[in-house]
Structure 1
Amino acid sequence: MSVNDSELYYEVHGDEHDKTIIVLHGGPGVSDYEKGLTAYGPLTDEYRLVVYDHRGCGNSSLTPPYSNEQFADDVEGLRIELGIDEFVLIGGSYGGFITQEYAIKYPDALSGFILRDTAAHGGHRDRAREIAESRFDEVKDAHLDTPPLTKDAFDRVMEGNVGSDEELKETFHAMLPLYAPSISEFDADAAREGIEKRQFHHETHNYTFTHEHPTMDYREELPSVTCPALVTVGRHDWITPVEYSEEIAKLLPNAELVIFENSGHSPNLDEQDKYLETVRSFLSDIGFVADK
């Protein structure tokens, strides 16, 4: 679909007459629609689910700029093209940044939004570095079937200074154990399979991590967002630790915070059944249910 001079790959699942949920993935240049479909696919028994690859990601065109504002404009463009009058937006990790941007800029069509393991500003990166570096030796000592995780490679990813798609792929693969609830729970086989299915676009990643992420700050605007919000986070998330979701929930005037005690960065997968129960309860509470 052509949206704002970019070609976006999207899929729609569920009954066209059901209320619509749009899911935003994380990791610009690293992630795509598939994990969102896996995590939220069960909701199609009650809802129409729209998943897509953001510009510069997955199967969508490599069309700059890769700014948070442009990503939010693309959500609005997609909504208009699909004729969606009201919807709930779900955004995890970097998709949570875009969700906040959208809720601030385009509140009218939103019935509610759900944030998963994200932050309101780029300051979380310093804390994430501390946590990650404290776990480097644990990852090494676990002798996992992953590429070696080095500080230099890690720093290049975090600073948006990756030299190639292949370098981004290898370093992200090496970093994956950090995202699990614990190193001992990391599934190396599943991680390898997932890595091979993904497309990596280092220029998209580099742009967002140099031009957007460091200066991003929604803290002043969030108190004006009155739309109902569900803020979720895994207790053991390293890259957007719990305190950053707590901060968002305090800033939003109509937010509920839920912490998943046995999850890392992805409680929607680590504790999927419990997570979806929480989502369904929130949607019911805000009246976002099928018309009878």
Structure 2
Amino acid sequence: MDLQVLVQGKGFPILCLHGHPGTGNSMSVFTQHLSQRYKTIAPDLRGYGNSQTTADFAMTDHLADLDALLDNLQVEKYLVLGWSLGGILALELALRSPDRVSGLILVASAARPWGDHPPITWQDNLYTGIAGIVNWLQPGRQWNIDTFGQRSLFRYLVQTHTPATYEYLAQAAVPAYLRTSQRATRALSTAIRQGYNRLPDLPQIQCPSLVLAGACDRHITAAASQETARQLTNSEWQCYPNTAHLFPWEIPDQVLADIDDWLKRYSQG
């Protein structure tokens, strides 16, 4: 299907893939910075954002959509930056089209994703709903963060409960959650139940890779990300202390500086 996509900047193409739930706008923390020197391509994946569908689909359909999108944009070679689910799709693209994918940046992702999230209670859901609504109406309000945010499920997504982090949640996370379809959720759930594991295939990927993780990530653990980095032939791994699954919204300046440093060395190579 035709995907809604935001294309910014000029230069070597970087395909920026969001997670679940998410949209291309969720990747703005990366695209607004990288588009100053590169051409960033940030689509809404099938079933997310403005790329809605009326039919059920499988995870492999995302790959066909992305191939068609890149063909339409006349992109031959590109680098992929994928966050969470987007990182899994990045690995799949590298395995599927090694002649086109020239580099990978994997953010809070893994080839064998596993987590250690505690059971969710009704109080968790209640506080998350209140915190999310108040934060959407008044982004970054400290009273809401202290009263509801740190007692909600946000405590497993971020460790740095600052107004700046909660502004990202209001601007990108809540709208993305509301625009994530049940079909997208079912497709992901089906893949997880089938026991997704691409570790044995990772040595086939020869392009340079940067794997970034949050030390306190409960959704895709840092250990799972490190396991992936070890199986990739040409990879670097960076783990940020006191951060969780949404660490690019917790410490954006540090994450972008590390990506810039890797891209500089990548381009020189």
TM over 0.5: yes
Gaps of 5+ in 2: 133-151
Residue type matched to 1:176 in 2? F
Contact 1:181 1:265 survives alignment (8 Å): no
SS at match of 1:98: helix
Residue type matched to 1:80 in 2? D
- Does residue 238 in structure 1 map to residue 218 in structure 2? yes
Contact 2:158 2:247 survives alignment (8 Å): no
Could you tell me which residue of structure 2 aligns to residue 132 of structure 1?
A: 118
TM-score by length of 1: 0.75
Aligned-residue CA RMSD in angstroms?
2.8
Could you tell me which residue of structure 1 aligns to residue 149 of structure 2?
A: none
Could you tell me which residue of structure 1 aligns to residue 6 of structure 2?
A: 11
**Which of 164, 176, 180 is matched with 2:154 structurally?**
176
TM-score by length of 2: 0.81
Flag the 1:217–1:190 CA change in 2: closer, same or farther, 3 A.
closer
Measure how far apart 1:81 and its partner are.
1.0
SS at match of 2:15: strand
**Which of 64, 79, 85 is matched with 1:94 structurally?**
85
Measure how far apart 1:38 and its partner are.
3.1
CA distance in 1, matches of 2:82, 2:57: 16
CA shift digits 1:202-238 (9 cap, x unpaired) = 12202221x2122211011101111110000111111
Contact 1:66 1:207 survives alignment (8 Å): yes
- 1:121-200 equivalence runs, <5 A: 121-122=112-113, 124=114, 127-128=115-116, 131-133=117-119, 145-146=130-131, 175-181=153-159, 191=169, 194-196=173-175, 198-200=178-180
Contact 2:125 2:153 survives alignment (8 Å): no
CA shift digits 1:124-183 (9 cap, x unpaired) = 1xx43xx333x8699699899338xxxxxxxxxxxxxxxxxxxxxxxxxx633320125x
CA shift digits 1:101-123 (9 cap, x unpaired) = 1111111111201101112125x
CA distance in 2, matches of 1:70, 1:64: 12
CA distance in 1, matches of 2:75, 2:128: 49
- Does residue 61 in structure 1 map to residue 40 in structure 2? no
Contact 2:128 2:154 survives alignment (8 Å): no
Could you tell me which residue of structure 1 aligns to residue 15 of structure 2?
A: 22
CA distance in 2, matches of 1:86, 1:277: 24
CA shift digits 1:2-56 (9 cap, x unpaired) = xxxx1210011112xx1111100000xx311111023331111111111110111
CA shift digits 1:88-112 (9 cap, x unpaired) = 1011111111111111111111120
Flag the 1:202–1:14 CA change in 2: closer, same or farther, 3 A.
same
Could you tell me which residue of structure 1 aligns to residue 240 of structure 2?
A: 260
Residue type matched to 2:220 in 1? T
CA distance in 2, matches of 1:189, 1:88: 28
Could you tell me which residue of structure 2 aligns to residue 166 of structure 1?
A: none
Flag the 1:224–1:200 CA change in 2: closer, same or farther, 3 A.
closer
Residue type matched to 1:276 in 2? L
**Which of 191, 194, 215 is matched with 1:212 structurally?**
191
SS at match of 1:178: helix
SS at match of 1:146: helix
- Does residue 74 in structure 1 map to residue 65 in structure 2? yes
SS at match of 2:259: helix
- Does residue 46 in structure 1 map to residue 46 in structure 2? no
Moved more, 194-203 or 248-257: 194-203
CA distance in 2, matches of 1:278, 1:191: 22
CA distance in 2, matches of 1:212, 1:141: 28
- Does residue 284 in structure 1 map to residue 269 in structure 2? no
Measure how far apart 1:273 and its partner are.
0.9
Residue type matched to 1:132 in 2? P
Moved more, 73-82 or 222-231: 73-82
CA distance in 2, matches of 1:224, 1:233: 22
**Structure 1 vs Structure 2: percent identity of aligned residues?**
21
Say how many residue pairs are matched: 246
Measure how far apart 1:200 and its partner are.
2.9
